[in-house]
């Protein structure tokens, strides 16, 4: 096995020496190109983030990111296979190489980064944890939940966050941990718990699934800060580079005013050098990563920039109707930021 690997590496190395651009070996990219699609791990079913409709068609913010990635790497946004993963399955599925990446509203934390062999490649959603309660309980903030039963997905950051938060304030809640988010929300709906806790965005998505969504309110004050984004495993730096910069590219496109509607015109006639570099009209940024130079052009053309994706999946154009809030560009009062394409 080792000799085969070494031989392949040597072959790849000599081949790349011959070409103009020297690329670090990337087994993940090679495998994706060989099989013709990206394996993307997503949430089991969270409206607005990753949700399969009755035709098996996936939509959502996290799904859109994987489509943009497929457009950038393979030139076709449809060349993605989505693998739904539970809270428990997500890390082993990524670690074992069954998926190329996770785009699964998972919170970036220190211990996950340091001890699970995972890298977080940026932030595509700033989430804040809060609670959904029945209107009849008259709870206005999390502090009113003293004595309540709270349903939560076992092993999520929410489980520990909630426990820490109430302990710190000397409030007593009973936390009941379910294996899947869907089981927890079903038990909450059945009256087992007074509250269900998850991120603001996730709750907006889950509320749609309740029997009478209008009977419940989402408490506005978040108790935590949960930045979420695409996750890769350690190793294969070039693949990590692609994952990181496609995300940056969709944010940069919004910043630079490039949309799916005007991308052709921008590529042909924009005088802004960063736009020209982003879309491959100038320089060879795609080739530096081993992709075609119109990588971001394909992604924007087929999927749209971050803002378009946000409005369509979780924003005003969707059933979730979330404000941009922290997920607005930094120039407009939000936290979204991307390093320059230079």
Cβ partners under 8 Å of residue 309, min gap 6: 61, 64, 65, 68, 250, 303
Q: For residues 37-66, which are near other proteins according to CB under 8 A?
A: none
CB of 334 to other proteins, least distance (A): 30
Q: Contacting other proteins (CB under 8 A), which of 25, 27, 128, 155? A: 155
Q: Contacting other proteins (CB under 8 A), which of 51, 65, 91, 341? A: 91
In the block, tokens 């491959």 appear at: 280
Q: Does the footprint of other proteins cover residue 213 (CB under 8 A)?
A: no
Q: Contacting other proteins (CB under 8 A), which of 79, 81, 160, 324? A: 160
Q: Contacting other proteins (CB under 8 A), which of 135, 140, 172, 321? A: 172
Question: Hey, how many other C-beta atoms are within 10 angstroms of the C-beta on 140?
Answer: 12
Q: Which is nearer to other proteins, 174 or 272 (by Cβ)? A: 174
Q: Contacting other proteins (CB under 8 A), which of 26, 28, 156, 302? A: 156
CB of 210 to other proteins, least distance (A): 15
Q: Does the footprint of other proteins cover residue 23 (CB under 8 A)?
A: no
CB of 197 to other proteins, least distance (A): 12
CB of 176 to other proteins, least distance (A): 5
Q: Does the footprint of other proteins cover residue 175 (CB under 8 A)?
A: yes
Spell out, one character per residue from 223 to 252, where the chain touches other proteins: x when CB under 8 A holds, - when not.
Answer: ----------xxx-----------------
Rg of the chain taking only CA atoms, in angstroms: 21
Q: Which is nearer to other proteins, 91 or 310 (by Cβ)? A: 91
Return the bridge partners of 70, or none: none
Q: Does the footprint of other proteins cover residue 98 (CB under 8 A)?
A: no
CA dihedral 177, 183, 186, 190 (to 10 degrees): -50
By CB atoms closer than 10 A (0-12, 13-18, 19+), residue 182 is middle
Q: Contacting other proteins (CB under 8 A), which of 30, 76, 182, 183? A: 183
Strands 129-134 and 216-218: antiparallel
Q: Does the footprint of other proteins cover residue 33 (CB under 8 A)?
A: no
Of 207, 206, 194, which is closest to residue 142 (Cα–Cα)? 194
Q: Does the footprint of other proteins cover residue 261 (CB under 8 A)?
A: no
Stretch that binds other proteins, among 15-23, 114-122, 208-216, 313-321 (CB under 8 A): 114-122
How is 272-335 classified by DSSP, letter by letter?
A: -HHHHHHHTSSS-HHHHTTS-TTHHHHHHHHT--HHHHHHHHTSTTSSS----GGGSBGGGTS-
Q: Contacting other proteins (CB under 8 A), which of 88, 259, 260, 293? A: 88
How is 31-82 classified by DSSP, letter by letter?
A: HHHHHTSEEEEEESSBTTTBEE-TTS-EESHHHHHHHHHHHHHHS-TT-EEE
CB of 106 to other proteins, least distance (A): 11
Strands 38-43 and 101-102: parallel
Asked if 149 contacts 192 with a C-beta cutoff of 8 angstroms, the reply is yes
Q: Contacting other proteins (CB under 8 A), which of 8, 21, 141, 179? A: 179
Q: Which residues bind other proteins (CB under 8 A)?
A: 87-88, 91-92, 95, 111-112, 115-118, 137, 145-149, 151, 154-156, 159-160, 163-164, 167, 172-179, 183-184, 186-187, 190-192, 194, 233-235
């Amino acid at each position: 096995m080792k000799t085969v690997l070494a031989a392949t590496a040597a072959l790849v190395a000599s081949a790349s020496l011959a070409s103009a651009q020297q690329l670090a070996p990337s087994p993940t990219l090679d495998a994706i190109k060989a099989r013709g699609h990206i394996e993307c791990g997503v949430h089991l079913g969270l409206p607005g983030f990753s949700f399969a409709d009755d035709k098996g068609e996936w939509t959502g913010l996290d799904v859109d990111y994987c489509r943009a990635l497929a457009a950038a790497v393979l030139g076709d946004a449809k060349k993605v296979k989505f693998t739904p993963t539970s809270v428990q399955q997500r890390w082993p599925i990524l670690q074992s190489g069954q998926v190329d990446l996770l785009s699964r509203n998972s919170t970036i934390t220190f211990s996950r980064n340091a001890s699970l062999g995972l890298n977080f490649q940026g932030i595509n959603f700033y989430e804040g944890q809060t609670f959904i309660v029945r209107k009849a309980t008259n709870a206005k903030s999390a502090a009113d939940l003293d004595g309540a039963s709270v349903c939560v997905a076992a092993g999520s950051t929410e489980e520990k966050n909630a426990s820490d938060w109430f302990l710190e304030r000397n409030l007593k809640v009973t936390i009941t941990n379910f294996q899947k988010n869907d089981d927890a929300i079903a038990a909450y709906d059945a009256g087992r718990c007074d509250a269900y806790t998850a991120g603001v965005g996730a709750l907006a998505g889950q509320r749609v699934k309740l029997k009478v969504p209008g009977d419940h309110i989402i408490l506005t004050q978040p108790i935590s800060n949960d930045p979420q984004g695409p996750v890769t495993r350690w190793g294969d730096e070039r693949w990590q580079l692609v994952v990181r910069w496609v995300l940056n590219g969709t944010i940069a496109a919004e910043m630079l005013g490039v949309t799916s509607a005007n991308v052709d015109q921008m590529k042909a006639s924009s005088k802004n050098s960063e736009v020209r570099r982003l879309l491959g009209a100038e320089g060879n940024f795609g080739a530096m990563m081993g992709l075609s130079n119109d990588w971001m052009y394909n992604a924007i053309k087929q999927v749209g920039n971050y803002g378009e994706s946000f409005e369509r999946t979780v924003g005003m154009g969707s059933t979730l109707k979330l404000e941009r809030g922290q997920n607005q560009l930094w120039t407009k009062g939000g936290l979204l930021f991307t390093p320059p394409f230079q």
